Amino acid sequence: MVNVIGLGYIGLPTALMMASYGVDVVGTDYNEKLIATLNTGKITFKEDGLDMLFQDAINAGVKFVTEYQVTDTYIVSVPTPYDKFSKKVAAYYVVSAVKDVLKVAPQNATLVIESTVSPGTIEKSIRPILMAENRTDINLVHAPERIIPGNMVYELLHNNRTIGADDKAIGEVVAKLYASFCQGEIIVTDIKTAEMTKVVENTYRAVNIAFANELAKICRHDNMDVYEIIKICNMHPRVNILQPGPGVGGHCISVDPWFLVGDYPSLAKVIDESMRTNDAMPAFVLHRVYDIMKERNMHDLSKVGLYGLTYKENVDDMRESPTLQLLESQEKHLGEPLKVYDPFITKDVIANQYHDLDQFLNDIDFVVIMVKHNEIKDNVSKLNGKVVLDCHNIIPGAYHI
Ligand code: SAJ
């Protein structure tokens, strides 16, 4: 039996996928409310294909509990934030999950850590716990998750995976467990290499997005069309630039590269500058808003609305979202917060929030497209007559960042 610890954005789909492919799975989370919701047959977040997977897993006998189980395999998928000041990984959730596992784990159990951690974290923060508890019999493994919100179920099935283990034979056993559902290639390596690959993958994307954002600023400065330029450059066989945007959100690309800056401050220069570039984008958008208002002779900020609150399109996840960052930066100007609407955020989470697109558009003259949800792409005609600042190049004739 596999005990999946932490039933969030990664642990839940992983538990459901394994169960639906015939693995005996118990999911554990200390959040009683979350377990109660799952046990009433409700899924806890929106994601393509997750509802169906949930049903399959329930039919296959998956269980959700708050207690850690006595079993031979544990998969830990709890969050790893970073310390805002030191920029280093904050491994306290993983540390406390591991300590709890050790209270019940039998001899020679395998402990797989899926949570993203910086290179060396398992050696520095996890192995010493095993030593202190006299539990060197436990097989430590790192299997960093790679799935992208918005396409998680497909990617869980098809992405290649990395398994880092002290002992190659144990790595192969865990690879076999993942192969019960994963159709991609599974590479077995050592733990530190696995830790580094995960952080490097997200850093690669962060640096590439920062490059696109910097190009957007250069093009804005000299009145060039950044989208046309990127499109033409990407027709070169060895160029693949990502897209500029209003900032980088989510719990991965806006967080993981900081681990490298925190651990190697004198070496990770390009990464540090890239993260600062991305973090500065929401404030850049706000300045664009002020500039466009000036140009159009508009004075009333209460007539400006932000479309989209989530960190990217068609997901309901708001963590580190550029819109929240923009509002935070606006707060510093002591203004009345801008109006906001997002079809995926049904609860009231901030001031001036709308729950109906028509009502939102009725109350404003100036719309900033912060997130390119399908909803707005399908309703472009509703923007007729409005001033539009489009941060994603989806609305013909709109202002760009
Ligand atoms: N973004 C841009 N321009 C782009 C692409 C993205 O501004 O061209 C922005 C998005 O709007 C969003 C942020 O970047 O705010 C991140 O979105 P994303 O779709 O690039 O990635 P995440 O954070 O949802 O998921 C990433 C993925 N990593 C990589 O693609 C290397 C995913 O595979 C990882 O599993 C995930 O991080 C994770 O959990 O680490």
DSSP string of 168-195? HHHHHHHHHHHTTT--S-EEEE-HHHHH
Give residue 87 CA to ligand 1 midpoint distance, Å.
19
* 189 closest CA partner among 205, 204, 174: 174
The secondary structure of residue 82, as a DSSP letter, is B
Q: Residue whose CA is closest, atom 3 of ligand 1?
A: 243
Give residue 241 CA to ligand 1 midpoint distance, Å.
14
Q: Tell me what the mean pLDDT of segment 50-57 comes to.
A: 97
pLDDT attached to residue 82: 83
C-beta of 242 in contact with ligand 1 (< 6 A): yes
Which pLDDT band holds residue 84 (cuts at 50, 70, 90)? confident
C-beta of 205 in contact with ligand 1 (< 6 A): yes
Q: Residue whose CA is closest, atom 37 of ligand 1?
A: 252
Pairing status of strand 186-189 against strand 2-5: unpaired
Condensed to tens digits (0 to 9), the pLDDT of residues 317-334 reads 999 999 999 999 888 776
Residue to mutate (ligand 1; options 208, 248, 325, 391; most atoms within 8 A of CB): 248
Q: What percent of the chain has pLDDT over 70?
A: 100
Query: Residue 42 pLDDT more than 70?
Result: yes
For all residues of the chain together, what is the average pLDDT? 96
pLDDT attached to residue 14: 98
Q: Tell me what the mean pLDDT of segment 112-139 comes to.
A: 96
Q: How far is CA 289 from the centre of its chain?
A: 27
Q: Which numbered atom of ligand 1 lies nearest the CA of 251?
A: 23
pLDDT attached to residue 329: 87
Q: Residue whose CA is closest, atom 14 of ligand 1?
A: 248
pLDDT attached to residue 397: 93
pLDDT attached to residue 331: 80
C-beta of 149 in contact with ligand 1 (< 6 A): yes
Q: Which numbered atom of ligand 1 lies nearest the CA of 204?
A: 31
C-beta of 280 in contact with ligand 1 (< 6 A): no
Condensed to tens digits (0 to 9), the pLDDT of residues 176-197 reads 999 999 999 999 999 999 999 9
Which pLDDT band holds residue 148 (cuts at 50, 70, 90)? very high
pLDDT attached to residue 160: 98
Q: Tell me what the mean pLDDT of segment 293-316 comes to.
A: 96
pLDDT attached to residue 185: 98
Q: Tell me what the mean pLDDT of segment 131-160 comes to.
A: 96
Report the predicted TM-score, pTM, of the whole model to 2 decimal places: 0.94
Q: Which numbered atom of ligand 1 lies nearest the CA of 201?
A: 31
* 287 closest CA partner among 246, 229, 228: 246
Q: Residue whose CA is closest, atom 35 of ligand 1?
A: 146
Condensed to tens digits (0 to 9), the pLDDT of residues 350-390 reads 999 999 999 999 999 999 999 999 999 999 999 999 999 99
- Of 7-16, 134-143, 329-338, least confident by mean pLDDT is 329-338
At residue 223, the 3 state secondary structure works out as: coil
Our answer to whether residue 182 is catalytic in this structure is no
C-beta of 282 in contact with ligand 1 (< 6 A): no
C-beta of 209 in contact with ligand 1 (< 6 A): yes
Residue to mutate (ligand 1; options 78, 153, 253, 310; most atoms within 8 A of CB): 253
Maximum distance among all alpha carbons in the chain? 72
Q: Tell me what the mean pLDDT of segment 152-180 comes to.
A: 97
Our answer to whether residue 391 is catalytic in this structure is no
pLDDT attached to residue 81: 86
At residue 233, the 3 state secondary structure works out as: helix
Q: Tell me what the mean pLDDT of segment 2-8 comes to.
A: 97
Q: Which numbered atom of ligand 1 lies nearest the CA of 202?
A: 31
Condensed to tens digits (0 to 9), the pLDDT of residues 208-217 reads 999 999 999 9
C-beta of 249 in contact with ligand 1 (< 6 A): yes
Condensed to tens digits (0 to 9), the pLDDT of residues 262-302 reads 999 999 999 999 999 999 999 999 999 999 999 999 999 99
